[in-house]
Amino acid sequence: MKYEEVRGMRIPVIGYGCWGIGGEMSANPARDARSLEALRTALKLGYTHFDTAEMYANGHSEELLGKAVRESAVPRESLFITSKVSAGHLYHDDLLQACERSLRRLGMEYIDLYLIHWPSSSIPLEESFRTLNRLVREGAIRHIGVSNFDLAQLQQAAALSETPLLTNQVPYSLAQREYVQNGVLAYCQAHDILLTAYSPVEEGRLRTNAALKEIAAAHGATPYQVALAWLASQPRVIAIPASQDAGHMHENLAAAEIVLNDEEIQQLTGLA
């Protein structure tokens, strides 16, 4: 596995996105067996970074992730667990309670990385970070990050965080370059902040063309793997593809081992 080394930590460039685990916006117990099997498979394959949120399946994703971890032989300290607080829970008391609920659902004593899922237009960021900083000091969370923040919001968040901001999680893929165009990626790379790419293969709707297929064939890989390898080739970029198919999960993890040459990277970068 390839890692990004940041703030004294080694974070795998390919993590496991838990969107769809246990449901989508609401819990769907009919999905539990498949969701648990996917999480167990991910742990067996060697995934160590798991990304969830209180919004995913209305908290049920966190419950299933915690259950899978407890049932596995994988030590908690070898895992890197990310969760997110929803935009409606960013007032001081609400945020404290949201974090407590996430910890309880996960069945864990701490969350490695806790993100503001979406910026709020009505709740001052200063108040939210006052609470997040307190949660770090108290040990409930170890690192702070944000998600879906534009450049100005990211700069404000970095200034308000008492500990170095660890990531901005945003949509980023071969087709989705908004956070390159708006300066967020360059800012992250210049300030030692990870850009975590979600929907990195566009939820399985990756558009292929001759160049992408040719590069994939040269590496004995799928176009999806090459799309992930392109992201992983960039400094301070990691990706969290979501899949419950064992074959795809294996391929996603293996994508980190694909080494693209400079010409291939330039070709892929020029596809936008």
Catalytic machinery residues: 56
Alpha-carbon distance values, 94 to 77, 106, 134, 137, 177 (Å): 28, 18, 14, 18, 33
Give residue for tokens 């709707």.
205
Distance CA 143, CA 261 (A): 34
DSSP-derived secondary structure for 142-203? EEEEEES--HHHHHHHHHH-SS---EEEEE-SSS--HHHHTSHHHHHHHTT-EEEEESTTGG
According to DSSP, residue 79 is labeled: -
Phi, psi of 167, rounded to the nearest 5 degrees: -155, 160
> What is the Cα Rg of the chain in Å?
18
